[in-house]
Amino acid sequence: MIKLKRAYDPATGDDGARFLVERLWPRGVRKTRLKLDGWLKDVAPSADRRL
């Protein structure tokens, strides 16, 4: 099952693998603070689709 969660929400024990699917890094979030298994910026929507 795939669950969606905002990057600003804290990680919990039942999250499983966590991937960031976004072209830009979230503002105000340090890379060391996010518990991620990967950053998939190539599969994120283009800038035209984000609006």
Domain range for 23 is 16-51
pLDDT at 46: 84
CB 20 within 8 A of CB 34: yes
How big is the chain, counted in residues? 51
pTM over 0.85, yes/no:
no
The two structure tokens encoding residue 18: 């966590």
Quote the pLDDT of residue 47. Answer: 77
Please name the residues in contact with 11: beta carbons below 8 A apart, sequence gap of 6 or more: 18, 34, 35
Q: What is the per-residue pLDDT across 4-38, written as a single tens digit (0 to 9) for each?
A: 999 999 989 899 999 999 999 999 999 888 889 99
Give the number of domains in the chain.
Answer: 1
| Domain assignment present for 4 | no
11 belongs to a structural domain: no
Give domain status of residue 25, yes or no: yes
CB 35 within 8 A of CB 11: yes
